[in-house]
Amino acid sequence: MSLLDLDLTQVTYFDLNNEINIPKDNQIQLNKDQEALAAFMKENVEPNLKRFDSVEAHYDWLIENDFLDKGLVKKYDMAFINKMYDFLEEQDFHFSSFMAAFKFYNQYAQKTNDKAYYVESYLDRVALNALFYANGDENLAMALANEMIHQRYQPATPSFLNAGRARRGELVSCFVLQTSDDMNSIGRTINSALQLSKMGGGVGINLSNLREAGAPVMGIANSAGGIVPVMKLLEDSFTFSSQVGARQGAGVVYLNIFHPDLMTFLATKKENADEKVRVKTLSLGLIVPDKYYDLIEKGQEMALFSPVDVEREYGMPFNYVDITAEYDNMLKNDKITKKMIPARTIEEEISKLQQESGYPYIVNIDTVNRANPVAGKVISSNLCSEILQVQTPSTIDDEQEYTTLGEDISCNLGSINIVNMMKTDDFAGSVDAMIRALSFVSEQSNLNVVPSVQNGNQQNHAVGLGAMGLAAFFAQNKMMYGDKESLDFTKVFFMTLNFYSLKASMNIALDRQETFKDFDKSAYADGTYFEKYVSQDWGPETDKVKELFANLPVPTKEDWAELRDQVQKNGLYNAYRHAVAPTGSISYVNNTTASLLPIVNKIEERQEGMIGKVYYPAPGLSNETLPYYVSAYDTNMKKVIDIYAAAQPHVDQGMSLTFFMRSTIPEGLYDWKNGRTEKMTTRDLSKLRNYAYKKGIKSLYYVRTYTDDNQEAGINECESCSI
């Protein structure tokens, strides 16, 4: 008997799981989730998990059969590894839901080469992650094991999946590139996209420097092909990589909203677009300076500027020119080719496309750079719009060699489970272990195939510690998403997290006797970064939040002043520390809610490949928490924006913020609808984007629209649960 012999028509766990979605006496049968979990472990996992007499015998077999990195085990004494396993066993970990166990064993657990047996359990994967990211440091290994077995910290999928494996892929989640207006750079970018996709990472590429379609080339008018042919080449590259790689290749291209190819760029995602220009799998994002919002507010025409002319006049690539500051000068400059279009026409087109396809993402680039504490300019973002780091341009000669090696971006991600983190007895120690683990990913990543990315990674040691489970924490503590108490909690949690991650990064700098490049030119070094913290109190304001943080060390103004002085003296190891990614699979394994977003449904329906529908109840769902779980589609998105705006001042990069909209808006949800029409309109999306901009949101991710014909009834209308 093995996994290959399992008859899915005979196992009981899928039927039990499906019963969650069948009301009984108008109640949700939550007990069926626990029954499905027990059945899955009994019928699927336990009979098919290879067992060994000892940890040493297990590891010997894993090494012999090319599952475990022998070099990793050599960094530790086996007595210590046994001690770690004893500790992990004592914690008595059990999955909290069927989906958590199902996701782990289907997506993360190593199996024999013929896929017949599991060769590791959840406890094994946690142990190997702890050993790997501690790199021989026994104290750190135990600390990480403690964080992960209690599900306070969760590495991102590639990091969690590959740690300790003999045949491992890269640990990095995603990458950000830029390209210049020449064939050498374009060719190198396409090659880089192929190489990075082969590693399994998502790739963000800024095309704003490329001259527009019809621009002159070598003085010959109407010669340039514009950005669309390059987009098509990139899409084909990602598609090819997905065929040869273990994880599907994926990419996003960003374009400055003041680029002359803007309307063509947007048209590539329309369903009725000509096949010659349509991109089906490539994601789109816009880089949006403040000036755009000023022009739409005033209802004025907007100039789209030729990037090659701007670069010639300013002596720097279009990406690096401050369009908001230079707009009027560029408008007056006769040497810069431009075309005019009403700003509100562009606004309408963006909203139409978001309704139709969910794209484009939006990066409010001036908001990003005002808050950026590191010397240099942020010009772009990644596949999920949360990575926002400084880049510098490269130049490449005809032999495809770098004559100037710039800095591009790799993203090393992990997430805090807020529900469990609030139970820690050592908040500072937990954060320290997490930042050290992420820093090790940065140090271990071999990105030499793309020298600009390797250079940026080595210079900046940037990481992205994010968070998930915020909506679950609110519900389990009887706070409505977006109310005063939830906003207060979000502010205090992320301020506290920021404080202790700064402390951790400073301690690593002391240990390594190394800071990130140009620390001395940063807002940390001159102390200006800390002004907002030493000039006002960021502590809890509401009684409920004061109670929630009663046993946790919330930093005071005095603490911040002391930390400022220490950081100025000792430096920081990581140029960037935080980014909130759109957690997917790892949220299910942790039995928590995704990122900082509301739930999609009280009982979420997921299509799991060939298996069919699997149902996932909201974490901690009960009669007590039921009223506090409201679907994102029935939540005013201004409340979501408000929550993200409460966290944003304390997150040095960005946060993946998704809009959830119904094609028919629930009555009274948005005050501006005012009885005009309940159908979602382009005006609704425009108002929300502009509200997000005014609230200081750095970036916006997808727009997800729930159409009337997809409306689910039944279980999500139930008003109580049977436990």
| Residues labelled catalytic | 382, 384, 386
* Nearest-angstrom CA–CA distance, 499 and 586: 25
* Nearest-angstrom CA–CA distance, 141 and 126: 10
- Output the DSSP codes for 508-530: HHHHHT---TTGGGSTTTSSGGG
* Nearest-angstrom CA–CA distance, 88 and 318: 53
Strand order in 283-288's β-sheet? Answer: 409-411, 174-178, 202-206, 250-256, 283-288, 361-364, 699-700
Q: Which amino acid is at 166?
A: A
- Nearest Cα neighbor of 633 from 658, 614, 654, 616 is 658
Q: For residue 588, what are its two tokens? A: 């299910």
Contact 105, 44 (CB under 8 A): yes
- Output the DSSP codes for 340-402: EEEHHHHHHHHHHHHHHHS--EEEEHHHHHHH--SSS-B----TTS----B-B--EE-TTS-E
Cis preceding linkage at 627, omega within 30: no
* Nearest-angstrom CA–CA distance, 490 and 145: 27
Contact 142, 130 (CB under 8 A): yes
Q: For residue 222, what are its two tokens? A: 């109407």
Q: For residue 512, what are its two tokens? A: 């390594």
Q: For residue 172, what are its two tokens? A: 């990095």
* Nearest-angstrom CA–CA distance, 11 and 6: 8
**Secondary element (H or E) of residue 404:** strand 402-404
**Secondary element (H or E) of residue 39:** helix 31-40
Q: Which amino acid is at 568?
A: Q
Between the two ends of the chain, the Cα-to-Cα distance in Å is 34
Q: Which amino acid is at 302?
A: M
Cα 94 to chain centroid distance, Å, stands at: 27
* Nearest-angstrom CA–CA distance, 172 and 195: 13
- Nearest Cα neighbor of 209 from 305, 319, 120 is 319
